Structure 1
Amino acid sequence: MLTALSIRDVVLIEALDLDFHAGLGVLTGETGAGKSILLDALGLALGARGDTGLVRQGADRAMVTASFVPPAADGAIAEMLGEAGVVIEPGEPLMIRRMVRADGGSRAFVSDQPVSAGLLRELGQHLVEIHGQHDDRGLLNSRGHRALLDTYGRLDTASVAGAYRAWRAADAQLAEARAEQEAAERDREWLEHAVAELTRFAPEPGEEAELAERRATMQRGEKIAGDLQGVADLLDGSDGGLARLRQAARILDRISGDHEALADALEALDRAIIEAGTTQERVDEAAEALAFDPAALEADEARLFDLRALARKHQVQPDDLAELAETLAARLERIESSGAGIAKIEAEAAAAHRAYREAADALSIARNKAAERLDAAVAAELKPLKLDAARFRTRVEPLPEAQWTAQGRDRVEFEIATNPGAPFGPLIKIASGGELSRFILALKVALAEEGGARTLIFDEIDRGVGGAVADAIGERLARLAGGAQLLVVTHSPQVAARGNHHLLIAKAHDGIVTRTGVTPLGAEARREEIARMLSGAEITDEARAQAERLLAA
């Protein structure tokens, strides 16, 4: 609820501080007195465009501060403020301040913390509803009609929203799986070739090092094969060194007893024979290890070159080829079995789509029933407002599937027909000024108990009507004020007399500067103002008496 409004240097208002209360507050004054300036100032605080034309002539800046009751700790306003990082102490009023400089630019604050004008607009949608002939928001904006109908019918939209999220998530998963499958199918031929090639080649970890070492060994053996054979020939054979040593040992063995030195010589020769034998064995062992086989060398070299070429082809290390073969084989297997996986995901997506459709269908049925109740409630308000021939309907029509949302599959719009046989059409396009005002009031009365902002402003909603119609408007405004704060800019004495609080807007001129002021009226001043509204410039006793009767009604 709006509790106070402070205005500084806005158009004709130099300085103005107003307090507001619950119930029906009326604002009256002569035409041109500046009632619209108050609404412009409040609109500025609620995020409207910061036009430099609002700055009073000669002033550097215009400033408006609006105070509202403390927001509920668990409400939408508190959530928006929390997301914006704005901190309000519990129990503290919500203070919104907007400043516009004469040279351009504006600044916005909530409880003295800087915020964007966009946040003010979001807050304004929850704080204040403004209804008037030229209001293109609120009830005249068809984009909000579906939410109004859902609130009126107390419809459960959460299950539809949940089903919609599940459906979209399943569809996204299906699209991702299909994209992966398509990409995999494009790779199938290459995978089949690669897996077959790697399977035939059968690479093993560590094979490159083993082949390289074996090739190097055979290459070294090729180089020293002749030398090894020469050593073997010198050591072995009938005329080799070892054979000669053995022959000498046999001779010394026969004569070693003839002299001590010969025995020592035999011993030394035996040791030489043993060492020579060891030498021969080691040379034979080395010759066998370094044996050179041209066919084996060629085969190992070919395998090594092919192994390295295959590794380059797949951009991996040779030792990783075995693991790559397993990975590619697994990918190929997944492609071959992906059909069953896609079928499962398709079934899940289809089930999610059915669940959403069932929930949306149930919501559509509930919306149509709520629309019937709302149409009847509005129809009951039209006759007292002298709209007997007019008809109102809530049109609920299905949207194409491409436009289905978390709010369901319906488009909702409030429509009217002002004359018998005339086609239905949008509120703002069909009704004249006076009719539109009364339609808005009838609809608002029908929706009165279904939430919305706690402060409602009606800007000259009674324009062009009088007598019984104005009285009916006043009665309905008073009824609405029982559950919310209403501020009504009015030229109708019947409406003004219904107010719980009365503010008079007047323009004064001191010969140099024209200023707009607002005065709260007491009982006597209020009677005089209503009498003025009844009689015009000259207030008569009859007008005062009529004003008394209106106030007493």
Structure 2
Amino acid sequence: MLQELSIKNFAIIDALTLSFEAGLTVLTGETGAGKSIIIDAIQLLTGGRGSSEFVRHGENRAEIEGLFLVEDGHPCMDRAREFGIEIEEGMVILRRDISKTGKSVCRINGKLVTISVLREIGSTLIDIHSQHETQELLNETYHLPLLDQYGQSEIETALLDYEKLYKKYEAVYGRLKRMNENDQQLAQRLDLIQFQHEEIQNAGLRLHEDEELAEEKRKLVNFERLFESLNTGYEALAGEQHGLDWLSLAMSHLETAAEVDGELSDILESVQSCFYTLEDMSRSIRSRLDGLEFDPERLNVIEARLNEINQLKRKYGSSIEEILEYGSKIEEEIESIVNRDHHVELLEKELQTVKRDLYLEAKQLSDLRKKWAEKLTKNIHSELKQLYMDKTKFEVRFLAAADDYYEADDIPFRRDGLDQVEFYISTNPGEPLKPLAKTASGGELSRIMLALKTIFSRHQGITSVIFDEVDTGVSGRVAQAIAEKIYRISVHSQVLCITHLPQVAAMADTHLLIMKETEKERTRTKVKPLGQEEKIKEIGRMISGVEMTELTRQHAKELLELAEAIK
């Protein structure tokens, strides 16, 4: 659950810290008080689209931070581990800062993450349902994903298997398409890559050759300094009356001393070892000096070779390894173009095999979807009955399915399969089923989406569900049914609900009043938890709109008593 939310310099909120409880929390208040701004902040905290417009006027950045409590085995645990995020004692802290330039900085448990990672983790913690999402029901492209979400336990695995094979189908199909391009394009391509391949082959590149040449060049360029340094070092060691002579003298005297004092033998041995080591090193230095030879022609050869290698790098890769890899790649392409007919034949056979396997995967996926579509239909009918839509008929209609393409020559495979799904509905007895977008009113859409959310909340394991004014367009007994439905969802998941319905407000376990006030000519949002008497007053305001009469107060009190009885 979302335990605590901190918002600073966000829209008309200067600084606000909210603590939330389990169960149903409702947020009420006058229009424009800032209820939806709080939901906007939560949406941004879980990876929503940010903008500099959210930053409070005159401030440099907006800060949003939320503390979530999760149980072991929660879906966010595995996701967090994938991204190297540690979760201790079941606490997940999301933080997002938005600067006045629009740039976002995101953190999860103190670790910097991208917005996509924040969104991926956040999606397992919060499910925000708004009027906009209700409108998405009118777009049939969302219906298939909703069905897949409902049957996720079986459909997800089948869909992943299908997608894996579909990628192979795309790859083979793409190669075949390229092989069947017109002769002129292929001839031009062949000329180009043959020239490139010949250029790479003629260069006779060796791995790390450029590094070796660069090192050799460095020595030649610094030849004089190298010679002088080695010569001076040699003279310091082996020159007359220099290092080795003095060390030899020291060794001679220590031999005499060791004859007198045996305890000096160890010192003598160390000096002798140093002498012989330095003598060997001086011979090595002499050998290097004798072998040094400045060859200006060799320097020219190296520079020319390095220039040739750099020219190839500009064309074919940033390193010799990449150049050679590119050479191998185009060598295969040359072979495939030269022997095009043979390769086309092989690719056509491979494509037929992949298409056959892909169709079988699509058929299995389609059969599973039909099975879960029947379950979803029954479940939706059950939920709609509780929302006073018991005469409504709902159907998940397959406009196209895998069976429709049995033995078809040209099968229109898509990334999500062969199925095309649309929700159909009839809200009045005797009326035929029609597409949802052409039939349902705003209030009916709200109830259908609420029915879907009720069903999905049992499957998803989401920590918190947020309803942002989903009760638009309903009243009376329907409003009471919606209130009871939202409360039932809160039994399994924490629910935060912005509402204008007194019936929903009465069902709340926690009631927060959102207010707007002006201080020092600046507007800001305040939040006040309500006690019992304050709840009665606020629900009375929601009922009457303006004047609070004794009758309104009594009605509000009865609503609260009814809610307690239902709970």
Shorter-normalised TM range:
0.5 to 0.7
Q: Name the TM-score, length of structure 2 as normaliser.
A: 0.61
* Deviations, residues 117-167 of structure 1 (Å, cap 9, x unaligned): 333333333322222222378766655533432343343442454355347
Which amino acid in 2 is paired with 1:24? L
Change (3 A) 1:423 1:163: closer
Assess if the C-alpha contact under 8 Å between 1:162 and 1:406 holds in 2: no
- Relative distance call for 1:367 and 1:58 in structure 2 (3 A) is same
Alpha-carbon distance in 2 for matches of 1:117, 1:181: 42
Could you say which residue in structure 2 is the equivalent of 1:127?
Answer: 125
Aligned equivalents of 1:162 and 1:140: distance in 2?
30
C-alpha change, 1:13 and 1:487, in structure 2 (3 Å) is same
Equivalent pair of 1:165/1:406 in contact (CA under 8 Å) = no
Q: Structure 1 residues 120 and 146 mapped into 2: Cα distance closer, same or farther (>3 Å)?
A: same
Choose which of 420, 424, 435 in structure 2 pairs with 1:425.
435
Matched, 1:487 2:502: no
1:380 is aligned, of 379, 382, 387, to 382
Residue of structure 2 equivalent to 1:65: 65
| Alignment match, 2:115 | 117
Residues 356 and 402 (structure 1 numbering): CA distance in 2 closer, same or farther, change over 3 Å?
closer
Where in structure 2 are the equivalents of 1:181-192 lying within 5 Å?
Answer: none
Displacement of 1:477 in angstroms is 1.0
Gap runs ≥5 in structure 2: 188-334
Partner of 2:168: 169
Hey, what does 1:41 align to over in structure 2? Answer: 41
Q: 1:500 Cα deviation (Å)?
A: 2.0
Does residue 23 (structure 1) correspond to residue 37 (structure 2)? The answer is no
Deviation at 1:490, TM superposition (A): 1.0
SS of equivalent to 1:482: helix
Q: How does 1:124-523 map to 2 (within 5 A)?
A: 124-135=122-133, 142-153=140-151, 154-159=153-158, 161-162=160-161, 165-166=164-165, 169=168, 172=171, 349-387=351-389, 390-398=392-400, 403-405=412-414, 407-418=416-427, 421=431, 424-427=434-437, 430-451=439-460, 453-510=462-519, 512-523=521-532
AA at the equivalent of 2:495? L
Pairwise CA RMSD of aligned residues?
A: 3.9
Seen in structure 2, the aligned counterparts of structure 1 residues 526 and 406 have a Cα distance that, compared at 3 Å, is same
* 1:385 positional shift: 2.6
Percent identity, aligned pairs only, is 37
Distance in 2, matches of 1:543 and 1:141, equals 40
Whether contact under 8 Å (1:505, 1:519) holds in the other structure is yes
Q: Which amino acid aligns with 1:455?
A: S
Which TM-score applies when normalising by structure 1?
0.62
Moved more, 164-173 or 56-65: 164-173
Deviations 1:19-70 (A, max 9, x none): 2232221111223322111112112212333233322233332211122224
1:148-194 Cα deviation digits (max 9, x unpaired): 323433434424543553475378569869988999xx99xxxxxxx
1:294-323 deviation line (CA, Å, top 9, x unaligned):
xxxxxxxxxxxxxxxxxxxxxxxxxxxxxx
SS of equivalent to 1:134: helix
Q: Which amino acid aligns with 1:392?
A: F
Deviations 1:61-111 (A, max 9, x none): 2211122224867836643x455x452243352222222233543322222
2:281 is matched with which residue?
Answer: none
Distance 1:544 1:177 in 2: 72
* Pairwise CA distance, 1:398: 2.6
2:523 is equivalent to residue 533 of structure 1:
no
Q: How far apart are residue 544 of structure 1 and its match?
A: 4.6
With 375-384 and 26-35 compared, the bigger mean Cα shift is at: 375-384
CA distance in 1, matches of 2:103, 2:172: 47
3-state SS in 2 of match to 1:22: coil
Letter in 2 for 1:97: R
The whole-number CA distance in structure 1 between the counterparts of 2:515 and 2:392 is 37
Please give the per-residue CA displacement for 1:223-250, whole angstroms capped at 9, x wherever unaligned. xxxxxxxxxxxxxxxxxxxxxxxxxxxx
Name the structure 2 match of 1:56. Answer: 56
Separation of aligned partners in 2, 1:114 and 1:466: 46
**1:8 Cα offset (Å):** 0.9
Structure 1 pair 515/92, CA: closer, same or farther in 2 (3 Å)?
same
Mark the runs of 5 or more structure 1 residues left unpaired by the alignment: 188-330
Work out whether residues 35 and 514 of structure 2, in 8 Å CA contact, stay in contact via their aligned partners in 1: yes
**Separation in 2 of the partners of 1:159 and 1:510?**
59
Q: Is the 8 A contact 2:155 2:369 kept in 1?
A: no
Query: Does the 8 A contact of 2:22 with 2:494 survive in 1?
Result: yes
Tell me the distance in 1 between the aligned counterparts of 2:356 and 2:558.
Answer: 66
Deviates more, 1:489-498 or 1:158-167: 158-167
